Amino acid sequence: MTADNGRHAGMPAGDEPMPRGALADLRVIELAHERSAFAGKLFADMGADVILVEPPGGDAMRTYPPFLEDIPGAEHSLAFWHYHTSKRGIVLDLEREDGRAAFRRLVAGADVLIESEEPGRLEALGLEFTALQREHPRLITVSMAPFARNGPRAREQTTDLTLLAGGGPAWSCGYDDHTLPPVRGGGNQGYQTGCHYAFLGALTALLYRDRTGRGQHIDVDMHAAQNITTEAGSYTWLVAEQTVQRQTGRHAGVNPSPQSQVQCADGRWVTTGFPGRRGDDYRRLLGWLEEAGLLGEFVEAPLLELGTQHDRLDLSRIAVDDEVRAIFGAARSALVFLASRLPAYDFFTGGQSRNFQVGIIYSPEEVLEDPHFIARGFPVRVPHPELGRAFTYPGAPYLFHGSPWKIQRRAPLLGEHTEEVLREVGAGAAAG
Amino acid sequence: MASKALEHIRICDFTGQLAGAGATKYLAAFGAQVIRIEDPTNEGRWDILRGQQPFKDERQGINLGGSFNNHNTEKLGITLNLRTERGRELIRELVAISDVVSENFAAGVFDRLGLSYEDLRKIRPDIIYVSNCGFGHSGPYVNFKTWGPIVQAVSGLTFSSGLPEQPPAGWGYSYMDHTGGYYMAMAIMMAIHHRNVTGEGQWVDMSCTEAGASLNGPAMLDYTVNGRRLRRAGMPNSNRNQSPPMAPHGIYPAEGDDNWIAIACRNEDDWQALCSVVAEPWTADARFVDLTTRLAHEDELDEHVAAWTRARERFATAAALQAAGLPATAVQRPEERVDHDADTAEWGLWPTAHHTEMGDVRVDGLAVHLSESDWEITRGAACLGEHNEYVFGELLGVSPAELRSMKEEGVV
């Protein structure tokens, strides 16, 4: 069961027309690159007319698995499908003069340009973005570079892995066992974090242009983006010159913290969080143990009983007060015990409904099957007319009630809109 | 004439922690006037970071929290007790002169304060209201509570970060507090643009778990299209690369204690470059002749690479590999990337903010530079009620005498 694409619980239904996305008045030109693909998607799913410019033969991402039915092919890459929703796609050969001429026609009608080319390429083609911006004062141009575009590390080679490893996140992620390597968080988060800043920067420039009529150039430093997305990793050094150390499934810290992940009766994992400090919290824990038929097996139950006699534990005394330490320890143990004896989903919903902040560790696909995400319309159906089928995609990161997020169409086939777009800008159709 | 991009925007800001405060930190750095409202009855402790470690020196106190300062630079801070009649009146006056109202309370809290979207639009019809909480303001989990690690767990991000045969490694910090804040800032700016175009305000209901779930698209499509779950034997294996496949690709040990180097061979050129730097016989082994065979023998390949890197200093190794043209980097410690990284220094990534009580403290800057209307961070977080006189006196016209009596009555 999935919601109509882009329509969410609580939004207008029936006869009311769907309002347009918040960026429906914008045209964005995106030079295809894996580093910047997600930035274009953020625009496109909010209604912007994003034109993806691919080289002859197509963007490299078309060769990335996984593929539809595991069969490689330019129209089969699910990575490409995801990162290029809602865009139109054209093929231009920027190595040829007619390709560059067509690109300049496109630029003249655009609001935003996005690129993440290798250093020097656009200069060599006469398409350097700051120069294009000077020619078109309303234009907002965005250059996404792994390091400061003209800075000391500009020529270093990078991937998502090396950005996350060099920029700070990996230092904080991994296991208590430090013979295991630091871990890169999965899912291209290094690139996506860079794209979040590209999009933020472009929106900032857009609001400035709304007021002044003037565009400008934006530089994104993707290494910098990782560096300031590490929470305590950076500020603990900045403020106190201390170094956090990675721990399994919980915040890296200067000092070790208690385990928080438990494997449940069904083999899945949960995160147990904080058991609370009030007598009422311990009453609810006892009630939960009893309802689950586990009270008799939980040997620390008398300590929880003792806890119910407190209005509120003074946790600042935990190091010096044996009773506080014993009660709080029993409360932590109760959550771990419940988690180890219940299926993960029962622990999650049972704990949350009793006001304990606990979480189930879902695999990404399991989110799409969760009743809450379904009720809010997160999974959306996207038609693929070329296949005569429709598929479920991940949905909106934010629910706009007046100008909604929506996947306008599936990712473009290679060159699908070349003629259409070039006709619109009067550039003919031969440039590809 | 250069000016700040958002200096015309005023935000009536109830956010805290990082998931909310991070959003308005971004906007404040570009000149938005962010007025942060705190509860005087508990010294703003709803934001648990206020007054929390790290501390700059031996002093501790409600105004001296290092992370709170980091996330609240360039904002104004006022105290206002919304349980008093006068407090409720003043907040309505502030909403009436604001473009945006932002909050990241648990769902329902704002309604109970009498500040639902319907209430807000009666005060100002084109108001923009952006709420951000763990599960949003509707649905079966509307009353569930979260913090960063729970958002990451439920959205799939914890699971997808890890090594085979190990528990989830997850994220060693609240990645989704940062990123939830980014999405909240995006939502605010897009809603302002929409208002600029149409004249209409709106409510944006942000669920941080939905924002998190939107960050694992290809893994989700592999399931919905091909029926293949990420929860399967041998997965996840997030130090390797599946899309596109690369080998070798990973984080390998280096000389010294807990030192590591990341190396990625994107293609045959990178592999040949690696072989030329390593210059050991195993690189010519038939098992490693092309990507297909390297993937088929990835464990053995990684053992060879690790044996080579383990004996070598990681920065020198990374430099040698970069000189040969392939992506490699030391896994940097905080000190290394903050104090000894030519890129972050060149970028100006760690500006010094002046805090009234803490003095000068370095903070996280931003990863963008705008050519005409760039950000600036020079002012630290506000102490409790630091801007009461300016906001109540100059913006809302409260007389000094009334402000004094409001203080005595516990309104501010």
The answer for B 127-186 residues in CB contact with A (under 8 A) is 135-136, 138-141, 143-151, 153-163, 166-175, 177-179, 182-183, 185-186
pLDDT at B325: 98
Predicted pLDDT at A18: 76
Model pLDDT, residue A315: 87
- Residue of A76, A82, A150, A162 to mutate, testing the B interface (most B Cβ within 10 Å of its Cβ): A162
Query: In the 8-state DSSP scheme, what is residue A17?
Result: P
Measured in angstroms, the CA of A431 and the nearest CA of chain B are apart by 29
Range(s) within chain B of domains with CATH label 3.30.1540.10: 241-253+260-330
**B59 contacts chain A (CB < 8 A):** no
ipTM > 0.95, yes or no = yes
Give CA–CA dist B412/B408, Å, rounded.
8
Q: Which residue from A388, A407, A385 is spatially nearest to A396, judged by alpha carbons?
A: A407
Of B202, B220, B243, the CB nearest to A65: B243
For residue A10, the model assigns a pLDDT of 44
DSSP state of A295: G
Chain A closest-CA separation from residue B401 CA (Å): 38
User: CATH top-level class for B241-253+260-330?
Assistant: alpha beta
Candidates B225, B232, B257, partner chain A, best to mutate (most A CBs within 10 A): B225
Cα B328 to Cα B320: distance, rounded to the nearest angstrom: 9
Query: Which residue in the set A180, A376, A393 is minimally distant from B138, CB to CB?
Result: A376
Alpha-carbon span A356 to B151, nearest angstrom: 14
- The domain defined by A27-231+374-424 folds into Rossmann fold (3.40.50)
Residues of chain B in contact with residue A397, where contact means CB-CB under 8 angstroms, are 183, 206, 210-211, 214
Q: Which CATH superfamily is domain B10-214+345-408 in?
A: Crotonobetainyl-coa:carnitine coa-transferase; domain 1 (3.40.50.10540)
* Burial category of A312 from C-beta neighbours within 10 Å (exposed 0-12, middle 13-18, buried 19 and up): exposed
Query: For residue B265, how many other CB atoms are within 10 A of its CB?
Result: 26
List B residues 181-240 in contact with A (Cβ-Cβ < 8 A). Answer: 182-183, 185-187, 189-194, 196-198, 200-207, 209-211, 213-226, 228-231, 236, 238-239
Find residues 340-359 of chain B whose CB sits inside 8 Å of chain A: 342-344, 346-347, 349-350
- Residue B39 structure tokens: 């509860």
Query: Best residue in B9, B214, B336 to probe A by mutation, most A CBs within 10 Å?
Result: B214
Q: How would you write the pLDDT of chain B (412 residues) with one tens digit per residue?
A: 468 999 999 999 999 999 999 999 999 999 999 999 999 999 999 999 999 999 999 999 999 999 999 999 999 999 999 999 999 999 999 999 999 999 999 999 999 999 999 999 999 999 999 999 999 999 999 999 999 999 999 999 999 999 999 999 999 999 999 999 999 999 999 999 999 999 999 999 999 999 999 999 999 999 999 999 999 999 999 999 999 999 999 999 999 999 999 999 999 999 999 999 999 999 999 999 999 999 999 999 999 999 999 999 999 999 999 999 999 999 999 999 999 999 999 999 999 999 999 999 999 999 999 999 999 999 999 999 999 999 999 999 999 999 999 999 999 9
Q: Where are the domains of chain A?
A: 27-231+374-424, 269-360
φ, ψ of residue B206 in degrees (nearest 5): -100, 130
CB contact under 8 A, A365 and B203: no
Residue among A181, A239, A352 minimizing CB distance to B141:
A352
Residue A417 CA to residue A180 CA, distance in Å, equals 48
Structure tokens at A13: 């239904």
Q: pLDDT digit string (tens) for B108-167?
A: 999 999 999 999 999 999 999 999 999 999 999 999 999 999 999 999 999 999 999 999
Strands (E), B46-190: 76-79, 100-103, 128-133
Q: Which residue of A has its CA nearest to B369?
A: A219
Q: Which residue has the tokens 């913006």?
A: B395
Q: Are A268 and A360 in contact (CB under 8 A)?
A: yes
In degrees to the nearest 10, what's the CA dihedral of B342, B345, B348, B349? 90
Residues of chain B with CATH 3.40.50.10540: 10-214+345-408
Q: Which amino acid is at B100?
A: V
Q: Nearest CA of chain B to the CA of A343: how many Å?
A: 15
Record: contact B322-A204, CB cut-off 8 A = no
* Alpha helix stretches (DSSP H) within B264-382: 268-278, 291-296, 298-310, 314-324, 334-339, 342-347
ω into residue B248 within 30 of 0, thus cis? yes
Cβ neighbourhood burial of A98 (10 Å; 0-12, 13-18, 19+): middle
Chain A residues with CB under 8 Å of B325 CB are 157
Instruction: Give A145→chain B minimum CA distance, Å.
Output: 10
Binary contact (A224, B365; C-beta < 8 A): yes
Which residue numbers of A are catalytic?
251
**Angle between helical axes of A279-291 and A301-308 (0-180°, round to 10):** 140
What is the identity of the amino acid at B330? A
Please give the average pLDDT of every successive group of 10 residues along chain A, which has 432 residues. Answer: 46 65 98 98 98 98 98 98 98 97 97 97 97 98 97 97 98 98 98 98 98 98 98 98 97 95 98 91 97 97 95 89 94 97 98 96 98 98 98 98 97 98 82 50
